[in-house]
Every structure is written in structure tokens, then in C-alpha cells.
Amino acid sequence: MVRIVSGSAPKVTFHGTEKPYADWPDQAIFIANHSSLLDINASASAIPQPIVYLSKDSIRRVPVLGLLNERVGTVFIDRSNPAAAKQSVVQLRETLQNGISVIVYPEGTRTKDGRLQPFKKGAFHLAANAQVPIIPLHIHGTRHALPSGRIRIKRNPIHVRFGRPLLPPPVSNTKALNEFVQQGFDSVQEMKKWHTSHLKTPD
């Protein structure tokens, strides 16, 4: 899907490291901005290790995208069903224990204006509980290709930038956990600014 939209695989860059992928752990929780239904597919193309995804259950019903996301291992969460949502989190924890990474979009919903929305704490709690690092990334180009509320896809180059892994605090330290959430937000925001200042294509 991403190759159809951009004409090639996503252009990948790295923020704050001279050794791409070299300092990555065997498993991690990836966090990214969320502006398009294409974000999951862009992430799958850029991350070179096995991953599963956490996504809203409604995406399962989107033609083509729903099927593609099922095939790449998306864990769908039904927020209207607390028991089902809790089971999805349990499934993600088991996935990490089995050595497979997870990607979460902590804004919780797609941005409509391109601004980064406040992060929910779920991914950070999961990282602290499992004691695995978070790897932040920023996706540029998918909002223009398929913005929220649209079904027609436009061609547009897609870029992905990765930050350094962030180590989780002890799960019992509430203050440190809040700082961990802010650290993740600041990292993605900084990469968003880099994309905006270095690229001429729309986000």
C-alpha cells in the first residue's frame, strides 16, 4: 500500500544516532504520531523486525486496509467493550514476552490538523510493566495521502524518522512514569519539527 502511495518504500532517517538500528533492543514498544489509516502500513515498511500493532476495532471494517492490517498482525481493540480491551492488552504483554515488538499510536486517534495531540499513558505503562524500551518515530506524508475523514488516496512521498530508544522507569514510580510519557512526546515532536524543516512535501 505504501509503495503505491509514495512510489517507493518510506524514506527512513535517524535522529540522534550514527548507528542506525545498532542500538535497538531485541524487542521494544514503538510509538508514533497518528494522522492517517496508512500509518500502520508505513510503520510496517520501515521497522525491520517482527512487530504487532494495536489499533481501533473500527479499522477492521475499512475495505482493503482492514484486511491488510489483519495480515500484518494488528491487535484490534474495542474501546466500547472493557473486557475485550483488557484482553487486547494482555495479548500485547504476552507478545512482548515472546520476543516480538509492539507499535502503539499514543495519541489515541488521528489528528485532523497535523498537530501532535497529548499522549495517553497506555503504551508507557506497558513498557514499564514489561521493562522494555520505547522507540519513538515520526511519520511524515501519510496525512496528505489519506487524511482523517477521507477515503480517496493521493500520491505523496512518505518519510519515517526514528529516535533513540527510551528506557522505562520502575512501574511503581508515578512521577517518573509521567516524565517518561513527556519524554516520548518531546521526542516525536522534535522529529516532527525536523521533518517540517527539512522536507518540501506535505505531511
User: Domain map of the chain by residue range?
Assistant: 2-16+23-197
197: which 3 cell numbers? 524543516
pLDDT band at 94, cuts 50/70/90?
A: confident
How far apart CA 113 and CA 107 sit, in angstroms, is: 13
128: which 3 cell numbers? 514499564
How far apart CA 68 and CA 5 sit, in angstroms, is: 15
- Does position 2 have pLDDT exceeding 70, yes or no? no
- Does position 85 have pLDDT exceeding 70, yes or no? no
- Does position 49 have pLDDT exceeding 80, yes or no? yes
pLDDT at residue 123, as a whole number = 86
pLDDT at residue 18, as a whole number = 59
Q: Within a 10 A sphere around the Cβ of 157, how many other Cβ atoms?
A: 18
89: which 3 cell numbers? 492488552
- Does position 127 have pLDDT exceeding 90, yes or no? no
- Does position 45 have pLDDT exceeding 80, yes or no? yes
pLDDT at residue 149, as a whole number = 77
The 3-state DSSP class for residue 13 equals: strand
How far apart CA 77 and CA 69 sit, in angstroms, is: 13
pLDDT in tens, 53-74: 777 777 777 777 777 777 766 7
pLDDT in tens, 9-29: 778 999 876 567 777 888 899
Average pLDDT, the chain: 84
pLDDT in tens, 156-195: 899 999 999 999 998 778 899 999 999 999 999 999 999 9
**Spatial contact of 166 and 133, defined as CB atoms under 8 Å apart:** yes
φ, ψ (nearest 5 deg) of residue 140: -120, 130
pLDDT at residue 81, as a whole number = 74
pLDDT at residue 6, as a whole number = 53
CATH number, span 2-16+23-197: 3.40.1130.10
Instruction: Say which residues have a Cβ less than 8 Å from residue 123's Cβ, sequence separation at least 6.
Output: 29, 31, 104, 106, 134, 184
